Amino acid sequence: MAKWRLGPTQRLAALALSTIVAVVLGVAFALSPASLGRGHVDLDSASGTPIPADAASHRGGGHVPLPGASATARPHPKATAPAATPGPPDGPVVVLQPGQAPGGVTVCGTQLCSGGSPIQLDGASIYNPGLRPEQSGYLNPAGTIQLAQEAHLNTLRIINFYTKHGDPATVPYLESNWVLVDRMIAAAGAAGMHVDLGLGDYRNILWESCIDPYTADWTHFVDFVANRRNTVTGALYKDDPTIAFVSIAGEPLQANKPHTGVNATGSPDPNLANCTVEYTTQQLTDFYINTENAWAATGASVMINTGGLGYINESDSGIDWKTIYALPHNPFCAFKTYGGMFAFAPTVAAYCHSIGKPVLDEEFGYEQSNGDAQRATEFANQYSEMRSIGAAGVFFWNLGYQVASTSYEVSPLTPLTFAAVQAANP
């Protein structure tokens, strides 16, 4: 349930204005997820206009305090979705799923496989915070591949490729955004790499419009993504072996609690001062059921998963993580290891392995302010722990050339941390 104190006329006017801005600017890269504390300044990819990035961090494992607001605001009329409905039946776990092209990533027991052989996915997100000239990121696929290969990575995480501002009925479908994704996927495939295609930007733009993303119906958007044909390779996304898997939207905030004046990652947002988003434990579980069922209904051979869950180490998270991880169309368990999640990861791994599913750390990271030597040690510890619990993949935030105290980026410009990544992925 999402609630504004603005009246209907004001809401329509605000939404119309944001739509006009989105059309004028064209392609705009989304802000980095606030929950990771990536406090840099983003630049709109089309206009070069600085966009202040969110500054909140969850590295301590806690929630961001929420400003007070009215609890009597009316729900947004679009914040509705059907109750969970059964999806297509799953068959047994196999090395190659029906229709899966050789080389596509699948589950095989508690491992991931490619072409029938076990594979360890070592990756990173590739969001560019606005550095110009662009040495890496969506505007320079070749530079991104070169940097990833130098880091000994085999997977790129595609996320934050369109703005969270604007009309959620149009911005997520803009061709100018998806052409950039096409090119990155094609470049990764040509280099023998895989990608993790994240859909979290859709969650963010819904939230920014005060539409509860976890009670909204994602079926139309999911169908759009699944049936998109890559303009470079001609492959349908749902059957493209370069796409290791699609991630829905990880790190949902605490359930059974009103979230007022904050964005989808828990960072205070003055634009949402009069908006409250609240969902129950069951509504969140139903969201993942419905969205994974919608993907399966497209006949996709590419896997889908929740996206990396966070906060589940907290007793009051309200996230029924065991039920969510056990869903029939959720082939592996993804999580993120910030704050208390690092120590909780072995608990997740033990449970998921007990039900025959792999685990994957979709994101960890540390600010450059920690110092290069300390970051290198922190990265080495993350890799060591994830290897020890049998993680089938480990991704960090973020691969790129930015140098700033609040930046999470890793490149040869942070030589000790970069060397730690190389050493962990020989």
Residue spans per domain, the chain: 2-77+97-424
Rounded-to-integer distance, Cα 310 and Cα 337, Å: 7
Q: Beta strands 2-4 and 74-75: pairing type?
A: antiparallel
Q: What is the pLDDT of residue 93?
A: 29
287 Cβ partners below 8 Å, 6+ apart?
A: 81, 213, 214, 215, 279
Q: What is the pLDDT of residue 66?
A: 28
Rounded-to-integer distance, Cα 219 and Cα 125, Å: 26
> To which H or E segment does residue 106 belong?
strand 105-108
Q: What is the pLDDT of residue 399?
A: 98
Please report, for residues 41, 121, 125, 324, the alpha-carbon distance to residue 50 in angstroms, rounded to integers and kept in the order given: 6, 34, 21, 38
Fold entry, domain 2-77+97-424 = TIM Barrel (3.20.20)
118 has which bridge partners?
113
- For residues 56 and 43, the answer to whether their CB atoms sit within 8 Å is no
Q: What is the DSSP string of 289-318?
A: HHHHHHHHHTT--SEEE---B-STTSTT--
Nearest Cα neighbor of 138 from 194, 94, 186 is 186
Rounded-to-integer distance, Cα 341 and Cα 54, Å: 21
Categorise residue 307: left if φ over 0, alpha if ψ from -120 to 50, beta otherwise: left
Q: What is the pLDDT along the chain (426 residues), one digit of tens a residue?
A: 654 434 434 443 443 434 433 333 333 333 333 333 343 333 333 333 333 333 333 333 332 222 333 322 223 333 333 444 333 333 322 233 333 334 799 999 999 999 889 999 999 999 999 999 999 999 999 999 999 999 999 999 999 999 999 999 999 999 999 999 999 999 999 999 999 999 999 999 999 999 999 999 999 999 999 999 999 999 999 999 999 999 999 999 999 999 999 999 999 999 999 999 999 999 999 999 999 999 999 999 999 999 999 999 999 999 999 999 999 999 999 999 999 999 999 999 999 999 999 999 999 999 999 999 999 999 999 999 999 999 999 999 999 999 999 999 999 999 999 999 999 998
Rounded-to-integer distance, Cα 200 and Cα 248, Å: 6
Q: What is the pLDDT of residue 155?
A: 98
Count CA atoms within 13 Å of residue 169 on its CB side.
6
Rounded-to-integer distance, Cα 5 and Cα 379, Å: 44
Rounded-to-integer distance, Cα 115 and Cα 101, Å: 8
Largest CA distance in the chain: 58
Rounded-to-integer distance, Cα 134 and Cα 126, Å: 12
Q: What is the pLDDT of residue 1?
A: 60
Alpha helices in 151-247 (DSSP H): 175-190, 200-208, 219-226
| pTM of the complete model beyond 0.85 | no
Nearest Cα neighbor of 335 from 185, 327, 64, 343 is 343
Nearest Cα neighbor of 61 from 344, 381, 369, 405 is 344
Rounded-to-integer distance, Cα 32 and Cα 404, Å: 15
Rounded-to-integer distance, Cα 28 and Cα 242, Å: 25
Strand order through the sheet with 111-114: 105-108, 111-114, 117-119
